[in-house]
Amino acid sequence: MSQYQSVKGTRDILPEEVVQWKYVEDIVNTLAGLYGFREIRIPVFEYTELFQRGIGSTTDIVGKEMYSFQPDPNGRSVTLRPEMTAGVMRAALQKNLFSLAPVHKLFYIGELFRKERPQAGRQRQFSQFGAELLGVSSPAAVAEVITLMMHVFDSLGLGGLKLRLNTLGDTDDRLRYREALQAWFSPFHNLLDEASKERLEKNPLRILDSKNPAMQELVAGAPRLYDYLKASSLDDFRKVLFYLDERSIKYEIDHRLVRGLDYYCHTAFEVTSSELGAQDAIGGGGRYDALARELGSSVDVPASGFAVGIERLLIIMEKQGLFATIPQDSPTVYLVVQDQALADHGLSIAWQLRRAGIKTEIDLASRSMKAQMREANKVKASYALFLGHLEYETGQYSLKNLVTSEQTTLSLEAVLHFLHEQGQSKPHFS
């Protein structure tokens, strides 16, 4: 064990795993593009107030999970981003994107930081991809965002996911419901657990999705937000469901689904997987019409978005054996050099092959031919190209197909030609 180890809740992604990450990222890039979303990259840290305003000071994220610090003695407090939405909206407002066009469709892939106790599927540094559709208040926008998210899951081949939806109504609806909830819970004040008591004051809706069985029992009899929705809110939600039905996207309606962030309104959704253990949410999102105003915008910017946890996604893919289909990035040629005397010549040939766009591996440690062959086999090279003294003198090289074990003797030009014919060369810079 080395003296230093990675910080609690962080981990290294080694090359074998990076392949998996890129595979996922490629699909995200492709599909987001297919739906007309363009990538945005924003800073990993922001002024702390952005998150306090944007996410809500009553949330756990802001209350106890942020990594905040002062960049200099007189500086304002800054915070490592614990989520993306607030930052994306900030960027859009700061850059006046809405004066260029009323609608912006953005997606992102990036790392987030929350100071939580690590456990299965939860780390202090983790990654999400997500999309934000800004400037559209139609239920079509949420449907669009959900559809993209589910399309990604589908393309990756994930099975056994459950999409749950709820509607939180608009501000009026929630205000009236909030009062109704407080009135209903008040007589049971003594039965509430610590967290719920606090929520009763600050954000009674959050009592609804408590995991505490005792609370759930209590909640079962509580009034439903659904019954407090005005007609237009109800229509909005029904329209979302209509779109999902039309696209054959399966879902469940869950009246207790509230979501932890204050900025949501109308449709909220969450996707869970039974493969994940206790932290079973792989993605979620919803509509957040009030966020822009909250951040000081002078105009309304209705918005919808989702975020998906990449580490959790990869856990599911691993468990479902979905990595087998990822193509291996193995070399085409392993150049086997007889001995030290030919090492420099070997390097020269390797360089020529690479210039020709042929993925070539060579042993820089001058090990025995046997060792080189074992290595060639281990890295799954397609061919071994032998450079011995005979080849050096005659200019005729032995090329061995490592799958069929067939071996032929060719000039270097013929080797290049042959590999090009085989489609083994790739586009390159020259």
Partner RNA sequence: GUGAUUGUAGCUCAGUUGGUUAGAGCGCCAGGUUGUGGCCCUGGAGGCCGGGGGUUCGAGUCCCCUCAUUCACCCCA
| 330 touches RNA (CB under 7 A) | no
Binds RNA (CB under 7 A): choice among 140, 195, 249, 410: 195
Nearest partner of 108 among 290, 369, 285, judged by Cα: 285
What φ, ψ does residue 315 adopt, rounded to 5°? Answer: -60, -45
Which pair of structure tokens corresponds to residue 385? 């190209």
Q: Which is nearer to RNA, 97 or 275 (CB)?
A: 275
In the complex with RNA, the residue whose CB is nearer, 103 or 390, is: 390
| Coil/strand/helix, residue 278 | coil
36 interacts with RNA by CB under 7 A: no
105 versus 312: smaller Cβ distance to RNA: 312
CB of 407 to RNA, least distance (A): 6
Dihedral (CA of 294, 241, 259, 286) sign? negative
Rounded to an integer, what distance in angstroms lies between the CA atom of residue 367 and that of residue 405?
Answer: 22
Q: Which of 171, 407, 408, 411 binds RNA (CB under 7 A)?
A: 407
Q: Does 118 interact with RNA (rule: CB under 7 A)?
A: yes
Of 14, 96, 117, 187, the residue at the interface with RNA (CB under 7 A) is 117
Question: Cα–Cα distances in Å, from 132 out to 26, 88, 93, 108?
Answer: 18, 8, 13, 9
Name the phi and psi angles at 250, rounded to 5: -85, 145
Q: What is the DSSP-derived secondary structure letter of residue 315?
A: H
Which of residues 97 and 263 has its CB atom nearest to RNA in the complex? 263
Check residue 13 for interaction with RNA (CB under 7 A): no
Is 136 near RNA (CB under 7 A)? no
Among 4, 101, 190, 211, binds RNA (CB under 7 A): 211
Q: Determine if 359 is a binding residue for RNA (CB under 7 A).
A: no
247 binds RNA (CB under 7 A): no
Residue type, 173: D
Amino acid, res. 360: T
Of the residues 398, 410, 414, 418, which one makes contact with RNA according to CB under 7 A? 398
- Could you tell me which residues are beta bridge partners of residue 386? 336, 398
Q: Is the dihedral angle over the CA atoms 203, 68, 65, 297 positive or is it negative? A: positive
CA 383, CA 358: separation in Å to the nearest integer?
11
Among 79, 166, 338, 424, which residue interacts with RNA (rule: CB under 7 A)? Answer: 338
Distance between CA atoms of residues 180 and 189, nearest Å:
14
Contact between 364 and RNA by CB under 7 A: the answer reads: no
- As measured in angstroms, the least distance from the Cβ of 238 to RNA is 24
Measured CA distances, 309 to 24, 115, 228 (Å) = 11, 16, 33
Judged by phi (left if over 0) then psi (alpha if -120 to 50, else beta), residue 14 lies in beta
420 binds RNA (CB under 7 A): no
Per CB under 7 A, contacts with RNA among 259-278 are 259-261, 270, 277-278
Q: Shortest gap between Cβ of 215 and RNA (angstroms)?
A: 8
424 binds RNA per the rule CB under 7 A: no
Q: Check residue 17 for interaction with RNA (CB under 7 A).
A: no
Is there a contact between 139 and 236 (Cβ–Cβ < 8 Å)?
yes
Q: Does 400 bind RNA (CB under 7 A)?
A: yes
Q: What is the dihedral of CA 380, 385, 388, 390, to 10 degrees?
A: 150
Nearest approach, Cβ of residue 148 and RNA (Å): 15
The Cα–Cα gap between 227 and 182 comes to 15
Does the protein bind RNA through residue 369 (CB under 7 A)? yes
Q: What do you get for the CA distance between the two ends of the chain, in Å?
A: 44
Q: Which residues contact 98 (CB under 8 A, 6 or more apart)?
A: 92, 104, 134, 135, 299, 301
The footprint of RNA on residues 283-312 (CB under 7 A) is 283-284, 307-309, 311-312
Site for RNA (CB under 7 A): how many residues?
68
Q: Does 108 bind RNA (CB under 7 A)?
A: no
Of the residues 375, 412, 415, 424, which one makes contact with RNA according to CB under 7 A: 375
Query: 């996707």: which residue's tokens?
Result: 271
Q: 58 vs 138, which CB is nearer to RNA?
A: 58
The residue within the footprint of RNA, chosen from 28, 32, 40, 61 (CB under 7 A), is 61
Q: Which positions touch RNA (CB under 7 A)?
A: 1, 5, 8-9, 59-61, 83, 114, 116-123, 126, 128, 195, 206, 209-212, 259-261, 270, 277-284, 307-309, 311-312, 336, 338, 367-371, 373-378, 384, 386-391, 398, 400, 402-403, 405, 407
